[in-house]
Amino acid sequence: MRSLVTGCAGFIGSHLTEALLDRGESVVGIDCFNDNYGRDQKLANLRHVRDWEAFEFVPIDLASGELQDLTDGCDVIFHLAAEPGVRSGWGPRYGQFLRNNVLATQCLLEAVKDRAGTALVHASSSSVYGGSAARPTREDVLAAPASPYGQTKLSAEHLCAVYADAYGLDWRCLRYFTVYGPRQRPDMALHLFLRAALESAPITVFGDGLQTRDFTYVADVVEATVAAGDAAAWRPLEPVNVGGGAPVSISETLDLIGDLCGRSLDIRHLPAQAGDVADTGADIERARDRLGWKPTTSLSDGLGRELDWVSSVLV
């Protein structure tokens, strides 16, 4: 098997690349090192795979690079490259979101649209649902993003659906819910909370802390993603939720972090931010059905592993 992973130096992409190599596949990894966080962390994410003979790294921008040769001979393309961030998409940075989430996806679609037999596994986001009142949220509810990020992720889904319909593209869409674990982006809440707890620094919570999130451990997400690439048949135009299946409030999560660190936390509340939704929760019945997948990592165990990693990078 030969796979291509876009966003291979990112949080989830680097874990996925390792998992594919571990199972004996050859992997072409693409990343453009966009500036949403430090290049050094992204390079560190690739530390464990750079020496694999079966790994080829290509630093290229999907939105401007020539992709035909890179996609040649690939059995599965895992499209994880994106411009992330619910809060950072407002204002002048929105152009980056359009370019890296929509235009980049369209360029990749152009490169693979005539590749019969090649599956495109596309990483989307629970942010496409916005503040849906239906929880747990099923994939067939009306998608109504509450942020520019969610809007561009939904636009990328719509583009994929258009190409799938027009060209028969084997598109497989996964909607990830609040992924966490080692190598998590430094702007994400759990990374910020754990770092502050270790440094005995104040922790900022936007909102009252009663909002809930369906935290999903990165190894579970990778397992679902690999299973999507392996699936013998995928129902056309059918997204699949990938979530932890047990939403927890931010306040409860902070209590758990305090217990893991063995100290009380200095928590300070600020008003909720534009684009933040009150609650998220995935209905994962379709993932069980189609992929034979369910999450296996408890929040306590997953946070403990991320805590160990954050501690190691602070040294």
Please tell me the distance from the alpha carbon of residue 261 to that of residue 303, in angstroms, as a whole number.
11
Three-state DSSP class for 294? coil
- Best CA proximity match to 228, nearest among 286, 172, 152: 172
| CA–centroid distance for 242 within its chain | 10
CA atoms within 13 A on the CB side of 305: 13
Catalytic residue among 129, 149, 163, 217: 149
What are the CB-based long-range contacts (under 8 Å, 24+) for 17-22?
Answer: 17/46, 17/49, 17/55, 18/48, 18/49, 19/222, 19/223, 19/226, 20/226, 21/49, 21/52, 21/54, 21/55
What is the C-alpha separation between 66 and 133, in angstroms, rounded? 42
φ and ψ at 4, to 5 degrees?
-115, 135
Alpha helical stretches, state H, the chain:
11-22, 39-45, 68-71, 94-97, 104-112, 148-167, 189-198, 218-230, 250-261, 285-291, 299-314
149 is catalytic: yes
Cβ atoms within 10 Å, residue 61: 16
With CA atoms as reference, report the closest residue to 207 among 153, 169, 253: 253
**Catalytic residue IDs:** 149
